[in-house]
């Protein structure tokens, strides 16, 4: 989180197991741009800047998660900039569904993803996927053996059409007590409850209903249809 000029804390993300923070400190010695608060006891691995440089040359494979984190944070910054541009262009009238960062997150809540079509069922390794950390990133599983070295997904859909599903397709976000689906500027887009999300349509973000939601990954003809339920 960061401190706003008003003195209020601005929550940037809720991290979970395997996530990385403070990655910029490995590259430069500038003052920290944000701080972290631990909500419960946790084990953490610490990497010093000198360790980063040495590992980068001696064992570069170890650096893959850190590089993936940097790329994902840059993408997320671009998405937030897109949100802000939309809001400014709207001028207060018919404002897009841009989430308002807040600390008022209801702990213990989340979402569950279930398949609604035969093909979508084959893309999941489990009959249902529970989401407790946000943003929760969903994309296509990398082709070939093993994961893509710089892929950072919380859920990788298997055996799906690469024409329809991007390697980094959507993120499920939680802000101000609500949940949102964000299309990550993909070629085919995403649909939620019949609402089309695509950069050509000018909208990438959709606020989920408190009831059940239908999610289509890809264009209108995509067979990858899922259900998102509130827990």
Which pTM was predicted? 0.68
The pLDDT of residue 104: 37
Residue 155: what are its φ and ψ, rounded to 5°? -140, 120
User: CATH 2.60.200.20 occupies which residues in the chain?
Assistant: 111-230
Q: Are 36 and 85 in contact (CB under 8 A)?
A: no
Fold category of 111-230 in CATH: Tumour Suppressor Smad4 (2.60.200)
Average the pLDDT over 47-70 and give the result: 80
Q: CB under 8 Å, gap of 24 or more: what pairs does 199-202 form?
A: 202/86
HEC string for 152-209? CCCEEECCCCCCCCCCCCEEEEEECCEEEEEECCCCCCEEECCEEEEHHHCECEEECC
Average per-residue pLDDT for the chain = 82
Tens of pLDDT along 75-113?
Answer: 777 777 777 777 777 775 555 565 554 443 344 478 999
């Amino acid at each position: 989180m960061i401190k706003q000029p008003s003195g209020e804390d601005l929550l940037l993300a809720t991290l979970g197991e395997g996530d990385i923070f403070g990655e910029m400190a490995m590259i430069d010695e500038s003052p920290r741009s944000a701080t972290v608060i631990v909500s419960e006891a946790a084990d953490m691995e610490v990497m010093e800047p000198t360790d980063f440089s040495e590992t980068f040359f001696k064992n570069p494979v170890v650096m893959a998660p850190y590089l993936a984190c940097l790329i994902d944070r840059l993408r997320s910054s671009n998405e937030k900039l897109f949100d802000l541009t939309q809001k400014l262009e709207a001028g207060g009238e018919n404002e897009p569904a841009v989430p308002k960062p807040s600390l008022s997150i209801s702990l213990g809540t989340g979402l569950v993803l279930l398949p609604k079509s035969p093909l979508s069922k084959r893309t999941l390794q489990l009959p249902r996927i529970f989401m407790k950390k946000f943003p929760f990133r969903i994309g296509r599983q990398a082709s070939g053996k093993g994961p893509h070295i710089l892929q950072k997904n919380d859920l990788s859909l298997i055996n799906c059409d690469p024409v329809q599903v991007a390697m980094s397709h959507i993120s499920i976000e939680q802000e101000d007590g609500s949940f949102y689906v964000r299309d990550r500027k993909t070629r085919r887009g995403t649909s939620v409850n019949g609402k089309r999300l695509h950069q050509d349509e000018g909208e990438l973000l959709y606020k989920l209903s408190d009831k059940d939601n239908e999610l289509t990954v890809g264009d209108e003809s995509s067979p990858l249809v899922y259900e998102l339920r509130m827990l």
